[in-house]
Homo-oligomer: A and B are copies of this chain.
Amino acid sequence: MWENGLTRLLGVQYPIIQAPMAGGVTTSQLVAAVSNAGGLGMIGAGYMTPSQLREQIQELKSLTDKPFGVNLFVPNPYNADQERIAKAKNFLQPILQELHVSKVEPKLPSFEQDVKTFYEHIDVIIEEKVSICSFTFGLPDSKILRKLKENSVIVIGTAGTVAEAILNEKAGVDAVVIQGAEAGGHRGSFLGEDKQSLIGLISLIPQTADQIKIPIIAAGGIMDGRGLMAAKCLGAQAVQMGTAFLVCEESGAHQLHKEAIIGAKEDQTVLTKTFSGKLARGLKNRFTEKMSNREDEVPDYPLQNELTKTIRKASAEKGTSEYMSLWAGQSTRLAQCLTARQLIEKIIQEAKELSSICT
């Protein structure tokens, strides 16, 4: 029932991919548990140093002999607008005070350094013979794609619109994640305004499937067997789930983050640029409320991300989720704290039952 072109390509039993959530969520325990249970575990390497990435890959090899993947952020040039940075520091200051954090001068990133790290990540992936590499925030250049392919790395792109999916196919990726408006965390889009690409999955998958031939991986709001079967009907060959795995026992997400998601209602998320400078979906809290009129004022990603880092960290340390970035998709009511294996087995069981009822 589950074998298709994509599961064969990836070498997995089930068409279930654990979304590569960056920032410590994708522990080796989580990634290995997903892969060992027949899904595809993914390392979210977006914020890692090359040596951290290498270390985690090596650790994973000791925990699973199944395939797993690594996700990288494609660096995009940004505008280090000093006026915006100064203004943002200013309007973030009262929150730092509220959290009793002494003023810290954040170390701002540099695009050149980001590009250098990105190339080093690619080298680590090739040297460590990781079999799957996915990209968000853009398309890597043709040189990198060629290099990965020459080294037998399967490449997965990310798209939020049909046009982006077509560009991915033209670039030569092996499969593409189609991110619906429901998805939690950062928008993976890279063309035009972020807000243009807020298309619901039930619309986006069939319209994309009509235009491309490479396999589609559906992402956004899928957390159970119903979502998996729906994605399949719409034209996807697999699903990628973030929030569902974020609340799993093995996930490295902060306990406050997990607790905030479990019990949240479906209309309690918001799309905001104010945590990082890039549009992302997460639960409303005091931070998103206070920043609701700052959407057009924040510096570009990843500058704002650095500026809010101390706040997010201090919030977690003080035991409150009110100033943390509580990334979550729109299906929060479906969240359950299980092990990754229990989650995957539950989904496959539900999907099997549905396939007999639904037809």
The interface of chain A, by Cβ under 8 A from chain B, is 1, 161-163, 180-182, 192, 196-207, 209-211, 220-222, 224, 226-227, 229-235, 265-267, 329-331, 333-334, 354-356, 358-359
| A199/B162 contact (C-beta < 8 A), A229-B233, A233-B358 known | no
Contacts of A221 in B (CB 8 A): 200, 202-203
Alpha-carbon separation in the docked complex, A224 to B203 (Å): 10
Checking B161, B201, B226 against A233 with a beta-carbon cut-off of 8 angstroms, the contacting residue is B226
Which of B201, B226, B334, B358 is the one whose CB lies under 8 Å from A200?
B201
Check if A330 sits within 8 Å of B266, measured CB to CB: no
Asked if A203 contacts B233 (CB within 8 A), the reply is no
For A235, list chain B residues within 8 Å (CB).
226
Q: How far is the CB of A53 from chain B (nearest CB, A)?
A: 32
A76→B229 CA distance, assembly (Å): 39
A330 to B198, CA, bound (A): 10
30 pairs, CB–CB < 8 Å, chain A vs chain B: A1-B359, A162-B265, A162-B266, A162-B267, A162-B333, A163-B267, A181-B181, A181-B198, A181-B200, A182-B200, A182-B203, A197-B267, A200-B200, A200-B201, A201-B201, A202-B221, A202-B222, A202-B227, A202-B231, A202-B331, A203-B221, A203-B330, A203-B331, A207-B331, A226-B234, A230-B230, A230-B234, A233-B233, A233-B358, A358-B359
Decide if A203 touches B161 in the complex (CB within 8 Å): no
Q: How far is the CA of A19 from the CA of B289 in the complex (A)?
A: 36
- New contact pairs (16) apart from A202-B331, A355-B359, CB-CB < 8 Å: A1-B359, A161-B266, A180-B200, A182-B199, A200-B220, A200-B221, A202-B227, A202-B230, A203-B220, A204-B330, A206-B227, A206-B334, A207-B333, A207-B334, A229-B233, A230-B233
Number of copies: 2
Give the CA-CA distance A231 to B354 in the complex, in Å: 12
**Nearest-CB residue, chain B, relative to A192:** B267
Compute how far the CA of A180 lies from the CA of B1 in the bound complex, rounded to whole angstroms: 30
Least Cβ–Cβ distance between A19 and chain B, in angstroms: 15
Contacts of A224 in B (CB 8 A): 206
Alpha-carbon distance between A212 and B358 when the two chains are bound, in angstroms: 19
Contact A354 B233 (CB under 8 A): yes
